[in-house]
Amino acid sequence: MSKRVITFGTFDVFHVGHLNILERCASLGDTLIVGVSSDELNYSKKQRYPIYDQESRLKITQSLRFVDEVFIENSLEKKREYISFYKADILAMGDDWQGKFDEFSDICEVIYFPRTPSISTTEIIEIAKNI
Ligand code: C2G
């Protein structure tokens, strides 16, 4: 049976850590579906808007050859609905989310991958500010 994998993220100021996790997620199955968090969701979580707006972040993510489908994630509370709607067999995330999505293991397999060390959007923004 072909396997469908879902993952979520902001993917702001796209970097190799994002690329690595999406590649790893894709390697788990045949179809990779990516929920890109909306600008408003980011604002509510972090009290700042992403550098790139949601349409740009969606476009960048969609253009990757191992990503099959993308959608805007509007609410953190809707994960279960998204998993069911996209008929995902596996939910995969970076291990900064370790344990946070275990509650969905009744409807799909939940996998966490180690984050790529020494790179993050926050750090890139800080470096750019100080140049
Ligand atoms: N990531 C990684 N290595 C890094 C940076 C990020 O593996 N050095 C992974 C994160 O673990 C996550 C994905 O890349 O799985 C996206 O990271 P972010 O864009 O920071 O997304 P986040 O703000 O964690 O949003 O519903 C959940 C949210 O939408 C996740």
Whole-number Å distance, alpha carbon 25 to ligand 1 midpoint, is 12
Please state the atom number of ligand 1 nearest to the C-alpha of residue 114: 7
Pick the CATH number of 4-129 from 2.60.200.20, 3.40.50.620, 2.40.50.140, 3.40.50.11540: 3.40.50.620
Question: How does pLDDT run across 31-78, given as a tens digit for each residue?
Answer: 999 999 999 999 999 999 999 999 999 999 999 999 999 999 999 999
pLDDT band for position 94 (50/70/90)?
Answer: very high
d(C-alpha 54, C-alpha 78), whole Å: 18
Q: Where are the domains of the chain?
A: 4-129
Sign for the pseudo-dihedral over CA of 20, 24, 25, 26: positive
Closest by CA position to 7, among listed 77, 127, 112: 112
pLDDT value for 12: 97
Q: pTM, whole model, 2 decimals?
A: 0.96
Residue bearing the CA closest to ligand 1, atom 12:
94
| For residue 1, pLDDT beyond 90 | no
Instruction: Using the structure block, give the residue that is written with the tokens 């850590």.
Output: 17
pLDDT value for 131: 85
Q: Which helix (H) or strand (E) holds 45?
A: helix 39-46
